[in-house]
Amino acid sequence: MRAFLASSIGVACSAALVLPLPLALPASAAPTSSATSSATGARTSSPVAARTSSAPAAGDVSVPGSTQSLPLRALPSERAAGAAVRGLTRRDVRPFSLVGVVWDDPDAELHGSVQVRTRASGTGAWSGWQSVETHNHDHAADPGTPERDSGTVRGSTAPLWVGASDGVEVRVRAEAPRAGAAPAPLPRGMRIELVDPGDEPTSEPAGEDTAQGPELPEGNDTGTTSGQVPVPALTPEESAASAVNAELVPLGSAEIPELSKEETEAAYADRFGEETVAAKPYIGPRPRIVTRKGWGADEKLRERNFVYTKSVQAAFVHHSATGNNYTCKQAPSVLRSIYRYHVKSSGWRDFGYNFAVDKCGNIYEGRAGGVAKAVLGAHTRGFNTNSMGIAVLGTYSQSTPPSAAVTAVARLTAWKLGLYGKDPRGKATLTSGGGNRYKKGAKVKLNVISGHRDGFLTDCPGTRLYGKLGTARSTSAKYQGR
């Protein structure tokens, strides 16, 4: 696995760690690392491994899922009005459930359209043409950070969930040239990525009609649960990803259970101090969160270390743009597919978002590092430092997000922002890391709960979801007791 060293704003933690860790520290107590430079952002040199095949080796049962990467060719028969068209004609492929297109240069933008047809496994029926969101460079690590400059990052579209499929057809059409202008070029090295999410985890989240489904078993380090259900032995990578939540739940737990407001205040008494607790701190009840173990994350895919920022001053809400044709029982598969696409196809160090929310209101742990901690994500280019990213699974440009999902965003932000003393209805000032809306170094005042488009020129989180953020802010503040 590629090596990764933390930047000056990050802290690296060894993946071999299995002992309980403290909850997210205040900025004044943030740990440091010998691998970082205190001011310049320089890091110790480390070789970066060459990009390897996305598919697991034959017989490697430890890696769930796989990725097929197929180069796109010129399609002269599809050429129209002088615009270049590349793609694939209909063909049989190994099973997959999610698609996306990648290309070599992460700074190159795809000016055009991407459409796919897929054949459903079992029925053999071909879908109609489905559009893939082409602008995905706004969901990324900040410019100049080790993750962005790793040499493995690629340009990419948003991923699209298509369900179990075994056939594909693709066409990528460049924008038609204006009168007298040369045809717009397509990025070099374009490939279609076909992602198989692998097997379902043993425990499933809530079903379609409820956001609080059957209780998932809680693991412990003895190998059994309270119900005497055997818990598989954890790999070192799984132990590390679980240990950062060890003060919340036992190692190997599939979920972090919800707490009442009173239980939450008591659980974090040491963090807030006796006087603050006596006065009732503004923190919402901790919601139920499905852990990475619960949704089946393959911890061997990600970078070994965790990287933190000093605080969580704001939350950016996104939509995943993966479409709405999934059931909540399929949400873990959608997450595993996005995770594999982010790491294996796009070249990111881990899942980009800190949290995800499905249409039934289930909340999922995203990027590894601990749900209560200030984990550096790759969700809002230019504003990943001192913020967190929440992706609502689906596309909400024209579809209204379910109320359960909006409520889940409010519950999650009431708790997580409360840990860092933030009012969901307030403002936060963040320093831009560079992007198409604010230049690097600009001090920008944003809503504590913002949409992705507030920090970057993008449609995300979709017009319909963006319109619900006012409701999320007021509801989150009520959960905090404001």
130 — phi, psi (to 5°)?
A: -115, 135
pLDDT in tens, 34-92: 333 333 333 333 322 333 334 433 333 344 699 999 999 999 877 665 567 999 999 99
167, pLDDT greater than 60: yes
Residue 480: the pLDDT is 96
pLDDT of residue 42: 33
Give the three-class secondary structure for 41. coil
More confident residue, 57 or 351: 351
Q: Average pLDDT in the 112-132 region?
A: 96
Q: What is the pLDDT of residue 185?
A: 86
Residue 178 has pLDDT above 90, yes or no: no
Answer with the residue of higher pLDDT: 224 or 347.
Answer: 347
pLDDT band at residue 153 using 50, 70 and 90 as cut-offs: very high
Quickly name the fold that domain 66-196 has.
Answer: Jelly Rolls (2.60.120)
Average pLDDT over residues 91-99: 97
**Those residues with Cβ within 8 angstroms of residue 13's Cβ, 6 or more apart along the chain or in another chain:** 21, 240, 244, 305, 306, 369
Are 18 and 243 in contact, with CB atoms under 8 Å apart? yes
Residues 6+ apart with CB under 8 A from 107: 137, 155
Query: Do 27-39+205-480 and 66-196 show the same overall fold?
Result: no
276 vs 130, more confident: 130
Fold classification of 27-39+205-480 (topology level): Lysozyme-like (3.40.80)
Task: Name the 3-class secondary structure at 215.
Answer: coil
- The arithmetic mean of pLDDT across residues 336-364, rounded, is 97
What was the pLDDT predicted at 347?
Answer: 94
pLDDT at 443 over 80: yes
Tell me the two tokens of residue 470: 């006012």
Per-residue pLDDT of 325-346, as tens digits, reads 999 999 999 999 999 999 999 9
Flag the least confident range among 39-53, 102-116, 238-252, 360-374.
Answer: 39-53
Helices and strands: H and E segment counts in the chain: 9, 17
Adjacent-strand bridge partners of 130: 116
Closest CA to 391 of 425, 431, 359: 359
pLDDT at 439 over 50: yes
**Residue 10 pLDDT class (50, 70, 90 cuts):** very low
Q: How far apart are CA 467 and CA 401, in angstroms?
A: 10
What is the pLDDT of the chain when averaged over all its residues?
81
pLDDT bucket at 281, cuts 50 / 70 / 90: confident
Q: What is the pLDDT of residues 55-66, one digit of tens each?
A: 433 333 344 699
Give per-residue pLDDT as tens, 452-467.
Answer: 888 877 889 999 999 9
| Both structure tokens of 35 | 């691998």
In this model, does residue 207 exceed pLDDT 90?
A: no
Q: What percent of the chain has pLDDT over 90?
A: 60
Mean per-residue pLDDT, 311-315: 96
d(CA 400, CA 263): 34
Compute, in degrees rounded to 10, the torsion defined by CA atoms 196, 201, 206, 208: 30
**What is the residue type of 86?**
R
Q: Between these two residues, 452 and 96, which has the higher pLDDT value?
A: 96
Q: What is the residue extent of each domain of the chain? A: 27-39+205-480, 66-196
The whole-number pLDDT of residue 54 equals 41
Tens digit of pLDDT for each residue in 218-245?
A: 333 333 334 444 556 899 999 999 999 9
Calculate what percentage of the chain has a pLDDT beyond 70: 75
pLDDT range class, residue 184, cuts 50, 70, 90: confident
Regarding predicted confidence, which is higher, 345 or 440?
345
Q: What is the pLDDT of residues 401-429, one digit of tens each?
A: 999 999 999 999 999 999 999 999 999 99
Q: How far is CA 211 from the centre of its chain?
A: 20
Residue 77 and residue 41 in contact, taking contact as beta carbons nearer than 8 Å: no
* Residue in this structure with the two tokens 């071999």, named with its chain if needed: 16
